[in-house]
Structures are given as C-alpha cells and as structure tokens.
Amino acid sequence: MNKEEENTNEIGLILNAQQFVDRIHDLDYRMYCDVLDRLSESVPQATGEWYRDEEGNMIMLFEEQDVLDESWRKDTDELKARAKSEQVADFVEDLAQAMFYHNHTLLWEAMISVVEAEERGDLEGMLGDDE
C-alpha cells in the first residue's frame, strides 16, 4: 500500500500535521526548507535550527539568552573563574541557568562542591582531556 492509499478515504487525502510536513519534505525539499526558513525569520530570537522530538513536534531552537540577573551573573562568573577545567566551568554555567528556572539552592551548593572538589584534586582522572 503506498502513502496515498493508506491516507485516503472516500472524502480525500487525510494527513495529520506530521504527515503533511513529511510529505512536503519528500515531494519538494526546497519548499520544505523555505517554509522552515520563513518561520524562523518570523521570530526574532530564532536560530533557524529545527529538530523533531520523539512525539513528532517540530521545535525551533532559540538563541541562548542569559537569564541570570546581575547578582547571579557576578556570583556565577566568580565561581566559574575558580574552575580549573572547561568542563567544570560549563557545569557551573549550566546549573546556574537551571537555578533560574527552578530556584533551588541545592544547585548552588552542588556547583560549589564540584569546584571545591576540583580545587582539591578530587576530580583527577574523572574529567576528559581538557584539563
């Protein structure tokens, strides 16, 4: 059974949104790309990068924005400056951003603990090659 046969009935061709997007992709890739580009251009903070999640949702990624206020940014940057490796500095940044959304003081304590463990040398051999 081809695609048209499995999606037709006596009324006509029936496609859900995911099938519709897939059909455009298959029939006219340039049009598919043009439509995604036009959608991206309509949103100021859009990166133009798209992906589809496991549920079939098309997701347009936004540019990263610093959600930390001035005080949190200062504290986060000071803690990142203590990090010896890029991995730990990235960890601190990621948790600081997560803290904004979850406002959980345990995240701040976790960041400090990891930086202190790295300062003591407790993370040697646990991090990648960027030390």
Per residue of the chain (131 residues), give pLDDT as tens: 455 556 777 788 888 888 888 999 999 999 998 988 888 888 877 776 787 877 878 888 776 666 677 888 898 899 999 999 999 999 888 888 777 666 667 778 888 899 999 999 998 888 765 44
Q: Which amino acid is at 92?
A: V
Sign of the dihedral defined by the CA atoms of residues 107, 109, 110, 115, in that order = positive
Phi, psi at residue 49, to the nearest 5°?
-95, 135
Beta strands in 2-131 (DSSP E): 46-52, 58-62
Q: What does the alpha-carbon distance between residue 60 and residue 50 come to, in Å, rounded to a whole number?
A: 5
